[in-house]
Chains A and B, each alone.
Chain A
């Protein structure tokens, strides 16, 4: 007994009629004598069962036979035709697929899949009917089609051309459209569809009572113009763009791409045309004089995961990032599985491996490393100031300019003031001066380590050679985000030894040290040799037995370029030996050591200073003035070096200058710091950027990073290029091709994705695959008409959606009955409205909205709403989830912080994606875990509590009035008498119960962090909370009706 038979028999036992009918319908379609369409019926069979060996993949092709092309299918093999139109029995194709001879049989006996008898029949009938061949539908450009004119009984039903197409196919199937849904259902449906939020009772009421012909359009226009529209639109785009707040591999550290996310929301709300939307995201950086927004838009292709795991081979992952860009771009804009051509020619679609790497080359030209930054954004990145930050930048910049000019103007006055002061008596007693701002430790030493160190309670250690090293705990415990400076006078007597350190030469030690190695000054910041550390070294050698001032400055950027070395106030060039720091080098175990750590320093160290900021060049120069203030004063002013004079002036400014003078100079310092602090706060975003010299791309044999084949140049896939002529020689060509009239797919794929937002499925159900393995559209003419119309409208997304929701098709009731289930079981013919569970985000947002908790703030850094304790730490070792407070607990779900390896549990339970890779079509499941979330997650319990709280603050004559109001709020409809009765009875019973259990009442009435209203009776609040919780759990409430 075949398995299919088994299954049919099995199903007969217990499956409802509707399901059984699917099978029967399928069988009927296959058994009937209707016309067989090559594109609809035959290519899918050939693709699925034959193309693997007789398709586009030249490597796998057997017997040099191609069935994916007309020439092959109708060609002659060994004197016999593969297909003889009208004569199945003469066609080798049929002979082979019906053969029982294992040597001739196709597919061969060891192939994984077999042809079903129905499929064989179809092939026979196709040949019988004349073997008409057509190209694959989606590779032919959509043509402007006239909507069919409906003349039948339902011709008055049509509201726009969409309906004409739908009605025409319904009529062909002998069906009729469903009645229109009632107004309450309609306004809830369209509100949820367009904004992801339900209507308010007032909005429902106003639509129900608005009898004008424009009532529906009024609602639509209102919804399309709310910011909530853009937020809701963005969710699906974030899925497609695999947007997240972490990098996604191993420790899964944080990144910051929310400026890109906000660009997307804004783009939808501004309704920028989809072709602009496309070009800016693919190649905004390459537009002439790109705006900051156009550069931010290119973050789309930096949203892929990034691997910061220690020990990875960067080249391997750099290839993965580029591949991700190729795969995602083609899935999102072309509905094609380009990734299948990475290792070999595509098995089903006309995409060669060469095409893959030609596209790869467009995206392979970034100054990027395969090893991602562990905490933060990986280059290339830009600062993306918010508008208010942009204003602050301008304001501070202008103020600084003024202040700097003022200090310049005041320079003669300062010189005169110093001149006047130095001849005063007090000058003779002036103590020495040095830079003290940010000084955290100072060891004068004076060449003798003993004095200070004993004061600091340091441990003194006599080394075998008689020299001394001092160590101090809790000093200079810097990490890789910290800015710091070390400064000291150094007179080495040997050319190797450690000046200052918090690290010892044990196996896999970590920390930092400044060291003399054969006279060169070496700076080491180390998490792990040799793949997680920075080492820079001076080209020149520090002179032996000579006193030099050495200063090392680090700016907290985690890069070798963030280290500066100054010797005697002059910056020394550094050679970069290692530049791979990816984790902090902060250590607790090792103390700060002066004169030791790696190896013992010989010579003298004096005036060792540790600053918790990165001093400027001028400040270091002041430190490098050996002479004390008194010594400088002894030098006649004309003979002082500029540095000496500068030191004197800064001493004077700090200690003696009048208010005018000192405030002028202090203003500069203050403004520079404010500017710095502002820059530190400005979010960055990873963007696309071109290397000045293009990186050579090669075909990668079997797709492997370490097996380069022939070099390739960037290009458009041959089979899809049409007459498109690239004119820029960079990624902009790819972007322009995507939205050019030559591209057969982009508009269709975009329209289809929009369509699936409103109906159960896209017109093409395989949203992710428009190739020969994908499903054909249910309404091909409608898809083409919409695509052409979309482009004609100027790629207007709002107009497209308006068109859809204005249609009578959209406004049908979603009620099912046995007749509908029999005739159109999966609603492929659109014989009724769509009843579908809401998305994860909408379910949560709706609960927050109904309780009045929802924050309507748009954009900003991601937030961390409620999540069970310890969820991150138990699998993502070192990171704690710091829950947000106040308003941020109640932001729309698209702002929820998305950690890819531990995605937000409430949302994932309702089929939100992990954002690890591009997803254009979420699954919608129905599980017990979803029930647990809605019943028990504090998010929903608190929402229920606050809803009840709000209700109790309103006047009411009876509990029926309260429950009725809540029911209308949540469902947008009137409760039936029985429904009201069930809920009110429950209220009364639970009220009694909670009166007996005041402790329980108190607990439930305090769920969540939202303030409790102590004026309310806890038992009443608890009892009503149980009712609102039931309401939030109703299937109807988490479903678009």
Chain B
């Protein structure tokens, strides 16, 4: 029934529903009627601070020690054993737990304080450093899993095991769509390395599958099955669609099933997508200055830079949640060489996206996030040499940045110990981050729920606190 309602509602009404905090979106209204969602919403309404979210997820876990979490004292410890007083018997992955020693590897990269806020950013990220005053850095992120699959799944769905809806699916369910010819939630993939991703990261879990993110691809059709088959041109398609709609309309009259009305509408939406998606991915009207800003890579479909530019274009067209997945940060070995390469690929376009959104007046109501699934160890994985080191997985602390609507710019939040091993001040758990992101979009994370298996499930499980200090 939810579908029917959503289809029948005029677009103008959608704004009304998403404008009050704690008010479930259209889809959620349907669930309310069915008694699955929460019927009672007594929290005072708060206006959302942002309408859209862009997540620049850096898959594989970038090293906080080499990018944001400056530890000048470590140079004295270079090659020395990580003190047990720091490690405190915390678990390690099977890749390094059998190492005979845990020599400390200080970062090889130079850090400087940036902008008027004085945020520390290493020279690996010059463009990001250049917009430091617009960013809010969190150095005290922490998570629970120690391996990629469960950790990435945890960041995206709030649970380590498969089966829960992703953040974007919750947003689609809670807030519905802001546009009529594109999906509400789009995922874009870039980067190589041997790190796989999984459909579940933008999946709908136990929510109906229509809340899944739609993966836009860089090869073949941007959206699966978008193109007409060879031999069917647009005019032929339109004719066939007219017939189909007419026949379905007849059947609707006979059966009285409103589901048919929905299907008729979905075919029209599909037809619109056949125009709107190619228009979206056609960058011919972007200026040379834009390509220069995002970097030359932004002309190459499937690159992180191209995806960043796409993110802006999707935002302009009312796509609520754009999620980039960029792979290649899993630097167990040869970290200095590999991280430099990753940064060259990602630094400029990420910074350009923030600036571009700002220039177009979109940053005020768009939240941008940048970060991975966990951090990396201060001790060296493998052999430590003056020119080389590697770092293993480290869930106990990592760094992220946020920017845009409702986020406090120029803030550096949280602090780790001298080894970037344990958090000493203002920890931010993944659930806290997700609670905060939902809050920025006008949703109370404890109230956006779905009853499944007898429980009122939510993105943040039974945890999570909005980190108010991060808000402007």
Which residues of A line the B interface, CB within 8 A? 2-4, 6-7, 10-11, 13-16, 18-19, 22-23, 26, 112-116, 248-252, 305, 307, 309-314, 320, 331, 337, 339-340, 348-349, 371, 507-508, 528, 530-531, 706, 766, 768-769, 771-774, 814-818, 820-821, 826, 835, 837, 868-871, 874-878, 900-903, 905, 908-909, 911, 914, 916-917, 923, 925-933, 935-938, 941, 976, 978-979, 982-983, 986, 989-990, 993, 997, 1000-1005, 1007, 1022, 1026, 1029-1030, 1033-1036, 1041
- Given known pairs A508-B382, A1036-B251, the reply for A1022 and B16 (CB within 8 Å) is no
Beyond the given A818-B256, A925-B209, A927-B266, please list 12 additional residue pairs across the A-B interface where CB-CB is below 8 A: A15-B9, A113-B38, A310-B94, A531-B95, A815-B256, A816-B255, A926-B210, A929-B214, A935-B228, A1022-B231, A1033-B267, A1035-B251
Closest A residue to B35 by beta carbon equals: A26
Separation of A408 and B1 alpha carbons in the complex (Å): 79
B343 interfacial contact with A, CB 8 Å: no
A-side contacts of B9, CB under 8 Å: 10, 14-15
Shortest beta-carbon distance from B8 to chain A in Å: 5
B161 interfacial contact with A, CB 8 Å: yes
Q: Is the CB of A870 within 8 A of B246?
A: no
B287 interfacial contact with A, CB 8 Å: no
B147 interfacial contact with A, CB 8 Å: yes
- Given known pairs A310-B95, A916-B200, the reply for A320 and B32 (CB within 8 Å) is no
Mask, B70-92, CB within 8 Å of A = 1, is 00000000000000000000010
What are 11 of the A-B contact pairs (CB < 8 Å)? A15-B9, A16-B258, A112-B456, A311-B392, A508-B382, A771-B454, A815-B255, A926-B262, A935-B240, A1035-B260, A1035-B264
- B257's contact among A307, A706, A835, A900, by CB below 8 Å, is which? A835
Q: Is the CB of A1033 within 8 A of B244?
A: yes
Shortest beta-carbon distance from B342 to chain A in Å: 16
Q: Is the CB of B251 within 8 A of A337?
A: no
Separation of A518 and B134 alpha carbons in the complex (Å): 62
B29 interfacial contact with A, CB 8 Å: yes
Closest A residue to B261 by beta carbon equals: A16
Shortest beta-carbon distance from B326 to chain A in Å: 12
Q: Is the CB of B196 within 8 A of A340?
A: no
Shortest beta-carbon distance from B231 to chain A in Å: 3
B354 interfacial contact with A, CB 8 Å: no
- Given known pairs A307-B149, A310-B94, the reply for A16 and B225 (CB within 8 Å) is no
Separation of A929 and B267 alpha carbons in the complex (Å): 9
Mask, B172-205, CB within 8 Å of A = 1, is 0000000000000000010011111111100100
Separation of A251 and B333 alpha carbons in the complex (Å): 19
The size class of the interface chain B forms with chain A is 35 or more
- B13's contact among A13, A250, A916, by CB below 8 Å, is which? A13
- B230's contact among A817, A932, A1003, by CB below 8 Å, is which? A1003
Q: Is the CB of A531 within 8 A of B98?
A: yes
- Given known pairs A10-B16, A875-B189, the reply for A928 and B233 (CB within 8 Å) is no
- Given known pairs A19-B4, A23-B33, A986-B243, the reply for A1000 and B255 (CB within 8 Å) is no
Separation of A983 and B247 alpha carbons in the complex (Å): 9
A-side contacts of B3, CB under 8 Å: 925-926
- A15's contact among B8, B17, B332, by CB below 8 Å, is which? B8
- A248's contact among B5, B146, B162, B264, by CB below 8 Å, is which? B162
B220 interfacial contact with A, CB 8 Å: yes
- Which one of B226, B262, B446, B454 has the greatest number of beta carbons of chain A within 10 Å? B454
Which residues of B line the A interface, CB within 8 A? 1, 3-5, 8-10, 13, 16-17, 22-23, 29, 32-33, 35, 38-42, 91, 93-96, 98, 146-150, 161-163, 189, 192-200, 203, 207-210, 214, 217-221, 223-233, 236-237, 239-240, 243-244, 246-248, 250-252, 254-260, 262-264, 266-267, 269-270, 273, 332-333, 382-383, 392-393, 446-447, 451-456
Q: Is the CB of B333 within 8 A of A508?
A: yes
Q: Is the CB of A309 within 8 A of B162?
A: no
Closest B residue to A874 by beta carbon equals: B189
Q: Is the CB of A868 within 8 A of B244?
A: no
Separation of A507 and B381 alpha carbons in the complex (Å): 10
Q: Is the CB of B196 within 8 A of A875?
A: yes
Separation of A979 and B231 alpha carbons in the complex (Å): 24
- B162's contact among A6, A26, A771, A917, by CB below 8 Å, is which? A917
A-side contacts of B94, CB under 8 Å: 310-314, 371, 531
- B255's contact among A771, A835, A923, by CB below 8 Å, is which? A835
Q: Is the CB of A313 within 8 A of B231?
A: no
- Given known pairs A311-B94, A982-B247, the reply for A931 and B161 (CB within 8 Å) is no
Separation of A929 and B214 alpha carbons in the complex (Å): 9
- Given known pairs A837-B259, A928-B270, A993-B236, the reply for A902 and B199 (CB within 8 Å) is yes
Chain B interface main SS type? loop
Q: Is the CB of B248 within 8 A of A1034?
A: yes
Q: Is the CB of B251 within 8 A of A348?
A: no
A-side contacts of B236, CB under 8 Å: 990, 993, 1000, 1026
Separation of A982 and B33 alpha carbons in the complex (Å): 39
Q: Is the CB of A875 within 8 A of B197?
A: yes
- A252's contact among B196, B224, B456, by CB below 8 Å, is which? B196
- B148's contact among A309, A908, A941, A993, by CB below 8 Å, is which? A309
Closest B residue to A944 by beta carbon equals: B229
Shortest beta-carbon distance from A888 to chain B in Å: 21
Q: Is the CB of B147 within 8 A of A989?
A: no
Pairs of residues from A and B, 7 with the lowest C-beta to C-beta distance, nearest first: A1004-B231, A773-B454, A1003-B231, A916-B162, A311-B93, A816-B256, A901-B198
Shortest beta-carbon distance from B302 to chain A in Å: 8
A-side contacts of B219, CB under 8 Å: 869-870, 874
- A925's contact among B13, B96, B210, by CB below 8 Å, is which? B210
Shortest beta-carbon distance from A180 to chain B in Å: 16
Closest A residue to B227 by beta carbon equals: A936
Shortest beta-carbon distance from A122 to chain B in Å: 13
Q: Is the CB of B454 within 8 A of A774?
A: yes
- Given known pairs A311-B93, A929-B223, A982-B247, the reply for A914 and B273 (CB within 8 Å) is no
- A911's contact among B196, B209, B225, B259, by CB below 8 Å, is which? B209
A-side contacts of B256, CB under 8 Å: 815-818, 820-821
- A978's contact among B220, B250, B267, by CB below 8 Å, is which? B250
B-side contacts of A528, CB under 8 Å: 95
Q: Is the CB of A1026 within 8 A of B29?
A: no
- Given known pairs A902-B199, A1030-B247, the reply for A7 and B230 (CB within 8 Å) is no
- Given known pairs A507-B383, A875-B199, the reply for A340 and B455 (CB within 8 Å) is yes
Separation of A517 and B226 alpha carbons in the complex (Å): 62
Separation of A13 and B224 alpha carbons in the complex (Å): 36
Closest A residue to B447 by beta carbon equals: A112
A-side contacts of B232, CB under 8 Å: 1000, 1004, 1026
B-side contacts of A997, CB under 8 Å: 233
B-side contacts of A874, CB under 8 Å: 189, 217-219
- Given known pairs A250-B148, A923-B208, A927-B210, the reply for A914 and B1 (CB within 8 Å) is no
B-side contacts of A986, CB under 8 Å: 239-240, 243
Separation of A814 and B195 alpha carbons in the complex (Å): 50
A-side contacts of B263, CB under 8 Å: 926, 931, 1035
- Given known pairs A340-B454, A507-B383, A926-B3, the reply for A1034 and B231 (CB within 8 Å) is no
Q: Is the CB of A1000 within 8 A of B233?
A: yes
Q: Is the CB of A901 within 8 A of B333?
A: no
Shortest beta-carbon distance from A239 to chain B in Å: 13
Q: Is the CB of A936 within 8 A of B454?
A: no
Q: Is the CB of A877 within 8 A of B210?
A: no
Shortest beta-carbon distance from B210 to chain A in Å: 4
B-side contacts of A870, CB under 8 Å: 217, 219-220
- Given known pairs A248-B162, A976-B250, the reply for A1030 and B240 (CB within 8 Å) is yes
A-side contacts of B208, CB under 8 Å: 911, 923, 925
- B199's contact among A10, A348, A816, A903, by CB below 8 Å, is which? A903
Closest A residue to B262 by beta carbon equals: A926
- B10's contact among A14, A16, A337, A507, by CB below 8 Å, is which? A14
A-side contacts of B147, CB under 8 Å: 250, 307, 309, 311-312
